[in-house]
Chain A
């Protein structure tokens, strides 16, 4: 299977581990990832903050490129990219006025042929044809969790992982439609499929503090602390995240949390793709564990693949 994959800028820089582990895991699942030619930043928060057409340009250009390369699906792993691409796509798909204005705005874009690199102008109207899927959604709906389960190479049955949804995966419900925002199951089902024990805890959809770590760091520290403490109290050995910003707030800034809350013992934070890659049998060295501020080696205790596979 071949599918378009949009990594997003953070995965090429600060959180290479997310990109790396995704690629390794997908390779073992027999899925070839294709990056759209000349992809740019999705625009992070901007395309959704203002009711303007210009801000939509970044995400829609990416999606238009995917369409022109013959793709009908684009997969992302970063929660922010997912929310931005999917909501921008929905705006163009469902709002005729926005669609018209957007296409007029980007009429004179330069088009680069993927293979010949020849530059031309003139695009067909982009109507929102591409389907934006988060990797979790892709695994559930296109690959199927039972198929994923059938390809496991390691037994993780002793590993208790707390799924962390954060703010960007589930809401707004009407636009993202990934799962029920108040009672989501997809992350738990995913963890169960790869053989872990999914820990239920009340803070899985609460905010990690997001960009407040820049403007109001103490608020972000408190927000992340409450999430991590709740997961730890519920018996988790690690918290699994999908979003590089959540990772930053909860892993890179965990020393700040420990400084502020002396009772907090700390907990490793990992990407969901790292756990998946590990379960599928990827080598530990290829998980990008060096990027973690809180050592996560203990989470990945090796049980040889041979012992599990029949």
Chain B
């Protein structure tokens, strides 16, 4: 792409100016008539007018008609910020047959009338701003958007409820999906839950049909025990390197007879039961695991060799066990990536005063879910971990780590109020003569049928709610003693408990930062995924082609996670519905003749769009990756990097015009 022929365009161009009143938003402070009038005489300007609402239908029509009638080559709309109506006027210009990149928006509202009171000086400023844009417009090139193909296949990372929902929806839209899950089975955290608030549906009963559907769907390729290793490319055209972890069991041959598990001598804490029970080194995570196959956990196996042990291989009639499997890598092409990597709980170690690390009977919410679950280590009977006794007094502590700006995490984990109410209720259903006590800061039950559920927990289940924080939990004999404060009574309280359940804060998933670094997607200060706009673009990442679903984006409950996953899938559908993608042409190319190949711009580029062509000794630009931020243009010492329609010449011309007289 050659630079705009300077000088020539400047003399020949016919520029039109349209000054907007925006009701009194602009006209109340800026003398719009005067601006239009004065600009009519400015060199290069062929036409100048003002109108009450340029963005209105008649306003746009006026612009269209005038462009045609006066044969304008470029127009300046002096109005609000370009983030609001630049698109509107670009479309209008297109209708008039003018290249949309010949439109300039002079912001005389947010940066002028809204921040000034002195009419005379504000008018002067408006004139300067408009003059600057005239100078820029005189050198603007006509540009065409860059076109790029779309690979209509999606990658979903994470096989929890959010990932499953997103995968199913995208597949139902008619597109192929690759679902990658790092664990041996899909199901995520939801499969560990007992019953779900506020309806008390059995979590496994509502999730397992979805898991099976995902496994059977003809357009979903399910890759469990796989990890995303590297991602390159850009929206519509990602290349993903996927790591296949060795399972040491061939799922196609394994018939789940379970003989291997019986003979395995290695006993390991069971992750599915939060370490409350044990599994063997060769195991199936849980009975409904998808895919239904055994997995040999190499970390705990005696040595993956018949010399060291080899018992499992000996008993396997189907010859499904193969100790020689290795990590393998393969590459896939996808057009969009949905990130649904979920969450983890804040470590109990961080709250030393609660003794979670020290006492077996101080447990977190997920552990209690397993104790309540019919498929859990106690078969759904509430027993405490230390001695298996049925606890007659259970204390629930909310906000463990949440809403504690000074020491822990400043945010609300959102689901704990409801799941604590559910825990108390389920506990009372199982142990009717037991006492449930809840320490809370506030009870937040925003959600459909949530508050009714909470009220039932108090009124029907006779749960004692104490407003205040817990300062210390310690063991005295058989009992745990909970020290806290009742801030409504203004008193210290001491409660004896057989079991204490801590509602630990939700935090970003363990180890997810490595993955996110590979994906180069933005996160917030707590490591949760950042959305493109907190209100208007809640399921997209700032980085094009990436979509967010579920608790990876921030604490949320199941219905919200499902809704977000479906929304993300719909957004992927939007993308795939297009035959080709259009990319903004206002990028920063390289002038080969000026480029010395110093590479400073490469280090400045936040999108990885620039690289060094070693053969020619110049930098080359991937036009699709370039977002036109201009960081390289500012850093380039030789002027070889010039942003289209924002060249150094244009900027200097704008500055000179603005500062003149």
Contact = CB atoms under 8 A, between A and B. Distances in A.
Interface string A97-130: 0000000000000000000000000000000000
B352 interface: yes
Contact of B352 (A182, A203, A230): A182
A182 B471 CA distance: 11
Contacts of A233: 476-477
A38 interface: no
Contacts of B472: 202
A181 B353 CA distance: 9
Interface in B446-491: 472, 474-477, 481
Contact of A182 (B353, B476, B477, B481): B353
B351 interface: yes
B352 A180 contact: yes
Interface in B333-375: 351-353, 355, 357
Nearest to B357: A183
A180 B355 CA distance: 13
Contacts of A180: 352
Contacts of B357: 183
A202 B353 contact: no
Contacts of A182: 351-353
Nearest to B481: A202
Nearest to B359: A202
Interface in A222-242: 230, 233
| Residue in A180, A182, A203, A230 whose Cβ sees the most chain B Cβ within 10 Å | A182
A202 B352 contact: no
B351 A202 contact: no
A289 B353 CA distance: 35
Contacts of A183: 352, 357
Interface residues of A, number: 8
Nearest to B351: A182
Interface string A148-185: 00000000000000000000000000000000111100
A183 B474 CA distance: 12
Nearest to B355: A202
A203 B353 CA distance: 11
B352 to A, nearest CB: 3
Interface string A30-44: 000000000000000
Interface in B122-175: none
Contacts of B475: 202
B478 to A, nearest CB: 12
A57 to B, nearest CB: 31
A276 B474 CA distance: 29
Interface string A201-233: 011000000000000000000000000001001
A129 to B, nearest CB: 30
A77 B415 CA distance: 48
A202 B351 CA distance: 15
B469 to A, nearest CB: 14
A182 B481 CA distance: 16
A19 B475 CA distance: 35
Nearest to B354: A182
A203 B475 CA distance: 10
A203 B355 CA distance: 13
B476 A230 contact: yes
| Residue in A180, A182, A202, A230 whose Cβ sees the most chain B Cβ within 10 Å | A202
A233 B476 CA distance: 9
Contacts of A202: 355, 472, 474-476, 481
B484 to A, nearest CB: 15
B406 to A, nearest CB: 11
Nearest to B349: A183
Nearest to A183: B352
B338 to A, nearest CB: 40
Contacts of A230: 476
A284 to B, nearest CB: 35
A178 B7 CA distance: 72
A185 to B, nearest CB: 11
Nearest to A173: B407
Interface in B251-271: none
Nearest to A184: B352
B594 to A, nearest CB: 49
Contacts of B353: 182
A211 B477 CA distance: 30
Nearest to B473: A202
Contacts of B477: 233
Nearest to A203: B474
Contacts of A203: 474
A182 B407 CA distance: 12
Contacts of B355: 202
A180 B481 CA distance: 22
A230 B475 CA distance: 10
A300 B38 CA distance: 101
Contacts of A181: 352
A183 B354 CA distance: 10
A188 B658 CA distance: 73
| Residue in A180, A181, A183 whose Cβ sees the most chain B Cβ within 10 Å | A183
A230 B474 CA distance: 11
Interface string A179-202: 011110000000000000000001
A90 B355 CA distance: 31
B386 to A, nearest CB: 16
A180 B476 CA distance: 22
14 contacts: A180-B352, A181-B352, A182-B351, A182-B353, A183-B352, A183-B357, A202-B355, A202-B472, A202-B474, A202-B475, A202-B476, A202-B481, A230-B476, A233-B477
Interface of A: 180-183, 202-203, 230, 233
> Closest 4 interchain pairs by CB?
A182-B352, A202-B474, A183-B352, A182-B353
Given A202-B355, A233-B476, 4 more contacts: A182-B353, A183-B352, A203-B474, A230-B476
